[in-house]
Structure 1
Amino acid sequence: MNTPLSDQTLARLFTEARTFSTFLDRPVPDDVLHRLYETAKWGPTSMNCQPARWVFVRSEAEKARLVSVVAPGNQDKVRAAPVTLIVASDRQFHRKLASQFPVNPAAAQMFESNADLARDTALRNSSLQGAYLILAARALGLDAGPMSGFNPAALNEAFFPDGQWQANFLVNLGWGGAASLRPRLPRLADEEVVKIL
């Protein structure tokens, strides 16, 4: 378990992986979407809170509804992707803590009595879970195109009108169209962003 992954695996997950804006016209089957979740769900969250909720948008009608709330520059990306995932956070995630974090039966009350803590915890941890899902997609041979360009209030009204789930970000999923890739953008150098104290 502690053996480093091969350079080839690290390349697939990180160093050679790309963010895709176009995808091949190839559907992503249900079993692949379920396997994505079954793989990504094991990533750690604070107190095992697991606040992320997953909406895989694939049908033409639901895609049209989603396109209506994304930024103009992202509309064609959503239309063309075989699947667009809405990574949402559950504002009532703590209601599941009794079964998911049984080591502290009182954990839910901490969030029940502090709405700001619940909101921040849900956002932080659903963001982590969304990142795990992107890595799971890459590990399973898919490509991903995460996006934040959308109207959150309009998306929440369209897909989560009861207010319990809140959209965090979007991820287009499928098999990437490499012909449309631009040259890879740079990353900040170690000395610009890392401190070891």
Structure 2
Amino acid sequence: MTLVLDPAAQDLLFREARTANTFTADPVTDEQVQAIYDLVKYAPTAFNQQPLRVVLVRSTEGRERLVRHMAEGNQPKTSTAPLVAILAADNEFHEELPTQFPVFPQAKDVFFAERPVREKSAALNAALQVGYFIIGVRAAGLAAGPMTGFDADGINKEFFADGEHSVLAVVNIGKPGENAWFPRNPRLSYDEVVTTV
């Protein structure tokens, strides 16, 4: 064994985990979502910034507002998933950087003074956090159905009218339902990806 993580956990998080396209009616509780967040919030990002923001869509009205901006193929599963999370980057994340560490005031005032720099950093680091969030959903014994097939401008106007957030992904969350899986696509081999210099 070259990995410390238990093989069952490896399967749960990676090898047997799949993107779910259907879900049971079993609810996803706020306690489950908080446990997921409390696990993944420690994952690394640049400057330990935390630009990810999560909007949980539970109400019928909120679901209708979201579904109309989803790509046609994503609308049915988004309509029926027990929980849907809109994952967005907070482009003003620098206001939340802690000040007790010497590098952060400089980062806030120099590195992130310009909006385009903040947006780029927010998008990259929140995207890292999206990946961690999906792993956290799997760690909770739930399935995630992450999607980028949507009208981003429409979702941003609908849910982030202040212009300070940018949607990155929409994730359906729940227990997998009947015929939940599409066939697994192949993955590149180690030799196709890794080079040594």
What is the TM-score of this pair, normalised by structure 1? 0.93
Measured against aligned partners, the alpha-carbon deviations of 1:86-115 in whole angstroms (never above 9, x if no partner) come to 110111000111348554322101244232
- 8 Å contact from structure 2 (residues 23, 180) kept in 1: no
Deviation at 1:196, TM superposition (A): 2.2
Cα gap change, 1:192 to 1:56, in 2 (>3 Å): same
Runs of 5+ unmatched residues, structure 2: none
**Matching residue of 1:142:** 142
Q: Look up the match of 1:187.
A: 187
Listed one character per residue, the Cα deviations across residues 60-98 of structure 1 (whole Å, up to 9, x for unaligned) are 110110001111110001011111111101110001113
Would you say the 8 A contact 1:50–1:126 is kept in 2? yes
Match of 2:127 in 1: 127
Please state how far the C-alpha of 1:179 moved relative to its aligned partner: 2.7
- How many residues get paired? 196
Residue aligning to 1:39: 39
* Superposed CA RMSD: 1.7
* 8 Å CA contact 1:13, 1:139 repeated in 2: yes
Residue 93 of structure 2 aligns with an amino acid whose one-letter code is F
One-letter amino acid of the counterpart of residue 125, structure 1: N
Q: Residues 141-192 of structure 1, C-alpha deviation per residue, up to 9 Å, x if partnerless?
A: 1110110000011000000001011111111111112533233221112222
Amino acid at match of 1:30: D
* One-letter identity of the residue aligned with 1:157: K
- Mapping of residues 79-158 of structure 1, within 5 Å: 79-99=79-99, 103-158=103-158
The secondary structure found in structure 1 opposite 2:105 is coil
TM-score (ref. length: structure 2): 0.93
Q: Give the structure 2 partner of residue 162 of structure 1.
A: 162
**Cα distance 1:19–1:134, how it changes in 2: closer, same or farther (>3 A)?**
same
Letter aligned with residue 75 of structure 2: Q
